[in-house]
Structure 1
């Protein structure tokens, strides 16, 4: 599936799109770009959030290329232009977040590491952050550092407290309702701008809505019960006290002060127990930091720049990486 070009959201020039297949035979849509300016500073692999797609990140891809980075983007299984997992294409589904780890490892091995130069940086948002953390121990020799934007480490304002939501999701999954939408969601996709939890920027909000309306094959609705149960298991795994103490990957966590989708306090707590993590919170920002108003988005990009340029990063992180193929 090629990238979707829209006058309000044009495809950045020079991209190469390709489908890659995982070991469990799921086809993933990928795209890559070389930088528009030199000197070449390495490669950034983008890990999007739940229900997102490559096209939503075109503006960020342009910004990263202008900074001298090659960029790799891809759609997780079950969303965007990658293979859907259920007959109803609008159900945001996965059985286990280990499947998303397979997606990430496939893209890194087939695209990022095989075809683009190091050092290698992961830039992840929300669900993508949780997947990256699950894979962090294995990826330390492949990814040099990671920036986590509004990470999914705890649930936000979802009605019931997380201590009730997670056991309920596990129970519903166990008794055969795993492929059903999360109760109360009914496949919701679109929302009005007023009081939306994603961004305070009306133009960027409308751009995403316009792209989905013009190319509805990219969109999915609410998560399934299995997706939620899997997310709960993954969050519990990364909050094991041994996890943070031994995680080797240097990460910069950037949380949104007005996040209603995920828990900012959970992100802060994770940073406190993880020796390789730094924490920054942007007051007033909503969940989608890379699609926020410039007041907040510029702060996020400044944090990204400071972290990837940090002289404290080891020399190996500055030199690892394969030649362009």
Structure 2
């Protein structure tokens, strides 16, 4: 399975890539890398956000490699180079976030545990962080620690409150519109344009790098989410908000929130963090949603928190 090089974004050394199939037959594209410094300190499993693809994380992979970690990541179903539902075209769709959790379970079983050195640390961005939370009770013997970056636990400033978005999406899905893209959204969005006013990053160079990757390989991109994806995200938020579920999380967890995040709700993240038994939250003031694609002043703070929390860093 191909991973793509780019002059501004070279593939980190030692890459091994391929594809696996999940229990329901969905094809997943993955890549893994060795540590670069002496005896490996373990493996970081990167779980991407919605509409992302593994090439976006090459800089982060290199940063982790030189810290002494092996790295594994994969494209979630419906995006990047992984299998897609042909009925939704370029839309971003999943019927249930537990399907994403099945993706993670397959990658752990078939890629990470047979090939990557333990212990294992989960790092998830946005939707990826939500997937890690949902998987935490089942993964308590696999992951030693979790780092959740800008987790999707509530929708941000999108014009409508979560309390309206969720029930509306549920009703529309019930009437047969689950695979319909959100009304009024662009059908196929290669990358947010222009840089000015974007909600993802204040770093123009990293923003442009991601945009060039999307333009060079549009087959990796997806458009706006479907109504079914919104319903699935809302259902996941409700499950994760249940105190009985949170009580089952036994993996030490660090949540890092972006202070200027308008994509997800920091208030929802704070509420969740207060219920964690063995976790805590920090906020990086001024940072936008994509902490690993942000300006150095914010990105370095993110890695400083990672280094303080992950043993061996």
Q: TM-score, normalised by structure 2?
A: 0.97
Secondary structure (helix, strand or coil) at the match of 1:185 reads coil
Looking at structure 1, the residues matched to 126 and 41 of structure 2 have their Cα atoms a distance apart, in angstroms, of 25
Looking at structure 1, the residues matched to 294 and 12 of structure 2 have their Cα atoms a distance apart, in angstroms, of 20
Pair 1:310–1:153, CA change in 2 (3 A): farther
Q: Deviations over 1:91-115 (max 9, x none)?
A: 1000101100110000001011111
Looking at structure 2, the residues matched to 108 and 88 of structure 1 have their Cα atoms a distance apart, in angstroms, of 28
Matched, 1:52 2:52: yes
After TM superposition, list the pairs within 5 Å mapping 1:236-247 onto structure 2. Answer: 236-247=238-249
Q: Deviations over 1:136-155 (max 9, x none)?
A: 11100111111000000010
Structure 1 residue 48 displacement after superposition = 0.4
After TM superposition, list the pairs within 5 Å mapping 1:235-314 onto structure 2. Answer: 235-309=237-311
Unaligned runs of 5+ in 1: 312-325
Looking at structure 2, the residues matched to 138 and 242 of structure 1 have their Cα atoms a distance apart, in angstroms, of 14
Secondary structure (helix, strand or coil) at the match of 2:46 reads strand
Looking at structure 1, the residues matched to 248 and 83 of structure 2 have their Cα atoms a distance apart, in angstroms, of 34
Question: Is this contact kept in 2: 1:43–1:69, CA < 8 A?
Answer: yes
- Number of residues paired by the alignment? 311
Looking at structure 2, the residues matched to 115 and 8 of structure 1 have their Cα atoms a distance apart, in angstroms, of 29
Unaligned runs of 5+ in 2: none
Q: Deviations over 1:25-50 (max 9, x none)?
A: 00100000001112310000000000
After TM superposition, list the pairs within 5 Å mapping 1:109-120 onto structure 2. Answer: 109-120=109-120
**Which residue of structure 2 aligns with residue 319 of structure 1?**
none
Structure 1 residue 225 displacement after superposition = 0.5
**Which residue of structure 2 aligns with residue 81 of structure 1?**
81
Question: Is this contact kept in 2: 1:77–1:83, CA < 8 A?
Answer: yes
Question: Is this contact kept in 2: 1:86–1:93, CA < 8 A?
Answer: no
Q: Deviations over 1:272-300 (max 9, x none)?
A: 01112110000000000000000000000
Pair 1:271–1:138, CA change in 2 (3 A): same
Looking at structure 1, the residues matched to 77 and 307 of structure 2 have their Cα atoms a distance apart, in angstroms, of 30
Question: Is this contact kept in 1: 2:88–2:180, CA < 8 A?
Answer: no
Secondary structure (helix, strand or coil) at the match of 1:271 reads helix
Question: Is this contact kept in 2: 1:45–1:73, CA < 8 A?
Answer: yes
Question: Is this contact kept in 1: 2:41–2:312, CA < 8 A?
Answer: no
Looking at structure 1, the residues matched to 134 and 155 of structure 2 have their Cα atoms a distance apart, in angstroms, of 17
Secondary structure (helix, strand or coil) at the match of 2:94 reads coil
Question: Is this contact kept in 1: 2:177–2:227, CA < 8 A?
Answer: yes
**Which residue of structure 2 aligns with residue 18 of structure 1?**
18
Structure 1 residue 310 displacement after superposition = 8.0
Q: Deviations over 1:48-79 (max 9, x none)?
A: 00000000000000000000000001000000
Structure 1 residue 88 displacement after superposition = 4.2
**Which residue of structure 2 aligns with residue 37 of structure 1?**
37
Pair 1:144–1:151, CA change in 2 (3 A): same
Secondary structure (helix, strand or coil) at the match of 1:246 reads coil
Secondary structure (helix, strand or coil) at the match of 1:64 reads helix
Structure 1 residue 268 displacement after superposition = 1.0
Structure 1 residue 117 displacement after superposition = 1.1
Pair 1:91–1:273, CA change in 2 (3 A): same
Structure 1 residue 241 displacement after superposition = 1.7
**Which residue of structure 2 aligns with residue 72 of structure 1?**
72
Secondary structure (helix, strand or coil) at the match of 1:158 reads coil
